[in-house]
Structure 1
């Protein structure tokens, strides 16, 4: 009945039905407890007002008797029952409060987990799209409280329906027209709620990007990433004013909508109040005419009030569900995002040992947010045990090639194979477990030094020996040994007793993560840019000795390091323009030779 009403009236998909399934999945026991309390709390008011009628009637009779002491004995049992009903009502209200809070917390945490899972599984492409961030923002706003609110409203609708049916049964005994008047009186309020629910929904969607801009400005003012520059360039007040201007615009628009809604509500409530007052006048007239007893007047008046409240609660729940249904579209807009990098139906096993290596065959790639190709017909090979280097100016497509190799994207044209098998034929998880990558924008985890390195291979149990070995290879061990708690020291200043590291020291931690991973292909994308040339040279000397049968791809602007590679590919604007070893490229006297000579002059 409930879903049919909304579907027939608004012709919209019923998003709250799958949301209720999520509510059930989050905590079946709390959901059952909630339903039981709804039924009990819906029935209790009927018993309470009926006991009030019996007490009033008995008091009226007692006043006409001479032996009032005997009459009091007849009233006492009724008072005891009424007291028990009051205590029961209070008890179940307290239980309801407990169950509601506990259940809501469970649902909120469960929904946040779903948002996090979807965010993790979404293709990297979405993180380079402003519309994705709009969808994520709206989903994050709705996910924590919309499903619990739906349950609250359904609970209120159920409880109100039970109470309403009981009250209507009483009021029908007085006059059938009262029921019709109650429903007519409630219609204006429902229409106002539904109209402004739609207005608020469309306004919030329209202003999502403005909200995100304000949040970004707030983040700029509070994040340690920008603290130094904001103070050096005196940007704090500038950002604060821009933030205040955006929030003021949002405030004025929102208050304008709410003000119109409040005046409309006032008019609707006045109309409803006049209808109800007319019914009460009719009841008083019937009592004065002797048709109703005094107890009947109390009974019917209470039934009228509770019936009106129950009807108001039911219709408020219906209109609220319409509002929730609108806003849940935001949540499912995000949850319905589909991956373009698909898992193979029948994954091929990854080779235990590389035989022929990695081959890029005429690979082209274009990001979805631009018409310009990032990669144009690139072909290269990485043989087992070989170290190749990718060289080129910023934006030439080097990092994009690595993203394609890790299958964070699929090529627009061409193919990438490992031992002759297309990357698309491997399980994404297995493929990534055999490739170890450290990007230039490596992550800084505010965990212990041990945890920071262990994150490089969480599939294996923590092993202090392997962690220390990886740290020694990257040069991080000396840094960690100098910290107050050694490997148990929390890195960064976000938490108590945390120790901040320099950029170069953070890079060594990130390198240790890459060395810890037991993979057949290692990719280092500008991983030592913050190190001095001597430290970088030592790292790569150790690296060459370490990899043995592993294959490696090195991206670096320091050509003194790059020349140690077995083979070098030079890129420019997404094209592969030169290739060969260091001596071949120097003899070619092309772009690579020019870059090398330019850098070499700085050291002469």
Structure 2
């Protein structure tokens, strides 16, 4: 940033932010932007016309003519003044309408840019708190700041035109009148710019606090946390922490505002003193007969309005400066680049697979973490082979899947598909070849049909394969019991929504994976909410449906792993053994020990499976 606490400085970055904001508004709504500017120019000129007509009326009345044309001429002036006043009101109303439309268009356009940028970035960004601060500031400020910049620029033109016109009028009275204006208005602009700079610094400093308070607010009102908040009586604790965070933010903001109020009053005091000094001077000239009564009103109004216009013009400059500061976060967010991108000439993803997947010396650590999630992984999965990956929690199973789908890049080593490195494919095309059902699958608060269709949005929404996938997963029985069947809205966020059990949501997620036409099927512990028998049934179903495909199953229930051609056991981010169920049992290693433990649990000699 091109500023510091000791010196006010408008830097190159501020100017670039302004130019980008104007371009952004122009790109999404050029017609509305031009119309808004035109209305502001008209509103800048009409007050001068009105002021001159009022002067003529006062002069005509003060002369008290006896001619028969007096009432006619004054009537015309009054009618003209009324017409100009109505025109000013009309332009103001039209400007309000135009600015409202412009605000909506720009806000939607900016949100669209934010959404597109968000989905283009790698998952690695979500591991960095600084990213959330930047995103939060961008989301808070970006939807209205660009439009505010354009509106302020339009106001700058309007106030500038009005100021120049009024100053030109004052020059007829005396050239020295303009010398009073700038010294009076300048302190106010400097105060506002300093306040804007400090406010920006405070908002940036408080971004983490603001996100933290929003998190407590979310936990207090969200359905996701509702059960535990009540069961553990967490409400009072979360409310207290929310209040403490808000109190801290409020105190810091109030301290800044108190300083601003005192300085503003001092600047307004000086301004008021100068305005009424000007009135005194003009009144003395009128009393001496040097100017007419109409001139007195006109010059006083011109002096008052010129000062107001100058202050508004300088205030617009300060607002532009403030907007440029806050927009810097938005454009900084837009400058973030994904690390996982398509090469200039991506290769076609092999369909069907001929050789398979291969990991060679793959190691990986999550951003902001020094712990190795994967270490020196060597694994080959033949085309058409079904393998199971097993291991205790934190062994690296899910991380391995994320790298296969190229959601993250390995720190070292490489992953190939039919001998071609994944980096040589387009990420989107590569992921189309994967049908993945993760353990933290999403419950979409949309219709039951849409919940399945989202697995393959290239299909038509009424495609019969949606129902077929539901029948295969067992979700069809659940959906048929809903009030509107497949057209029933799920979840309680919207009217007439129906809530499902965890197991029922899981069946929909499985349907979503089934409908995707992909050569590689991955199930990452998706059946944790089902009992062992139901899980085995689902895995058996997937094994049959993936008979001609490559399949990777991950499960904490080792009995389900027996349906695979090969079992890979992981521990502490490494592959420690692999082979068939029989081979691993004969070795008596980690897999055999875990299998025996689970067997005793299922047979009732330990903790029962829930």
Q: Which TM class, normalised by the smaller chain length?
A: over 0.9
Q: 1:459 to 1:227 in 2, by over 3 A?
A: same
Taking the aligned partners of 1:362 and 1:231, their CA distance within structure 2 comes to 48
SS at match of 2:454: helix
Which residues in structure 2 correspond to 1:389-468 (within 5 Å)? Answer: 389-468=388-467
Aligned to 1:51: 53
Distance 1:230 1:371 in 2: 33
CA distance in structure 2 between the aligned counterparts of 1:439 and 1:307, rounded to whole angstroms: 66
Distance 2:262 2:255 in 1: 11
After superposition, the C-alpha distances for 1:236-290 in whole angstroms (9 at most, x for unaligned) are 1121111111111111111111111011100011112222222222212222222
Once the two structures are superposed, the pairs formed by residues 25-40 of structure 1 within 5 Å of their partners are 25-40=27-42
Extract structure 1 runs of 4+ deviating beyond 4 A.
none
* Counterpart position of 1:603: 602
1:463 Cα deviation from its structure 2 partner: 4.0
Specify the alignment match of 1:11 in structure 2.
11
On the 8 A contact 1:453/1:513 being kept in 2, the answer is yes
Q: List aligned pairs for 1:147-226, cutoff 5 A.
A: 147-226=146-225
Q: Is the 8 A contact 2:40 2:157 kept in 1?
A: yes
- Asked whether 1:335 is paired with 2:337, we answer no
Whole-angstrom distance in 1 between the partners of 2:79 and 2:496: 62
How many Å apart are 1:217 and its aligned residue?
0.7
In structure 1, C-alpha distance between the alignment counterparts of 2:23 and 2:268, rounded to whole Å: 35
Contact 1:475 1:539 (C-alpha < 8 Å) held by counterparts: no
8 Å Cα contact 2:341/2:426 also seen in 1: no
Q: How does 1:469-508 map to 2 (within 5 A)?
A: 469-508=468-507
- Aligned residue pairs, count: 595
Counterpart Cα distance in 2 of 1:96 and 1:411: 55
How far 1:465 sits from its partner (Å)?
1.7
Q: For 1:470-549, list aligned pairs within 5 A.
A: 470-549=469-548
Matched, 1:66 2:32: no
One of 34, 40, 43 as aligned partner of 1:41: 43
Distance in 1, matches of 2:438 and 2:351, equals 25
Could you tell me how far apart the structure 2 residues matched to 1:540 and 1:232 are? Answer: 34
* Residue-by-residue CA offset, 1:158-204 (whole Å, 9 max, x unaligned): 10001111111111122222112101100111111011111111111
How much does 1:9 deviate? 4.6
Unaligned runs of 5+ in 1: 1-6
Deviations 1:303-330, CA, capped at 9 Å, x for gaps:
1111111111101100111111111112
Determine the C-alpha separation between the residues in 2 that align with 1:234 and 1:12: 52
8 Å CA contact retained: 2:278, 2:300: no
The answer to whether 1:90 aligns with 2:92 is no
* Partner Cα distance (2:489, 2:295) in 1: 73
Contact 2:8 2:194 (C-alpha < 8 Å) held by counterparts: no
Report if aligned partners of 1:473, 1:539 keep a CA contact under 8 Å in 2.
Answer: no
Residues in 2 aligned to 1:85 and 1:496: alpha-carbon distance in whole angstroms: 51
SS in 1 for 2:224: coil
Structure-2 residue corresponding to 1:22 = 24
Q: Following TM superposition, by how much is the alpha carbon of 1:345 offset from its aligned partner in structure 2, in angstroms?
A: 0.9
Partner of 1:233 in structure 2? 232
- Map Cα deviations across residues 413-461 of structure 1 (whole Å, 9 max, x no partner): 0111111111111111111111111110000001111000000000222
Alpha-carbon distance between aligned partners in 2 of 1:354 and 1:587, rounded to the nearest angstrom: 32
Residues 155 and 410 of structure 1: is their aligned pair in 2 closer, same or farther, counting only changes over 3 Å? same
Q: Distance in 1 between matches of 2:490 and 2:479?
A: 10
What is the rounded CA distance, in whole Å, between the counterparts of 1:164 and 1:474 in structure 2? 73
Deviation at 1:596, TM superposition (A): 0.8
> 1:399 Cα deviation (Å)?
0.8
Secondary structure at the counterpart of residue 443 of structure 1 = coil
Deviation string for 1:339-374 (max 9, x for gaps)?
111221110011121100111111111212111221
* 1:259 corresponds to: 258
How many angstroms does 1:119 deviate by? 1.3
* Partner SS, residue 602 of structure 1: helix
Q: Within 5 A, what are the aligned runs for 1:565-576?
A: 565-576=564-575
CA distance in 2, matches of 1:183, 1:106: 37
Instruction: Measure, in 1, the Cα distance between the counterparts of 2:249 and 2:287.
Output: 56
Q: Which residue of 2 aligns with 1:359?
A: 358
TM alignment of 1:264-275, pairs within 5 A: 264-275=263-274
SS at match of 2:359: strand
Q: Deviations over 1:451-483 (max 9, x none)?
A: 000000002222442011111222211211222
Q: Is the 8 A contact 2:432 2:518 kept in 1?
A: yes
d(CA) in 2 for partners of 1:379, 1:463: 43
**1:26 Cα shift?**
2.1
Secondary structure of 1:144's match? coil
- 1:535 to partner: Cα distance: 1.1
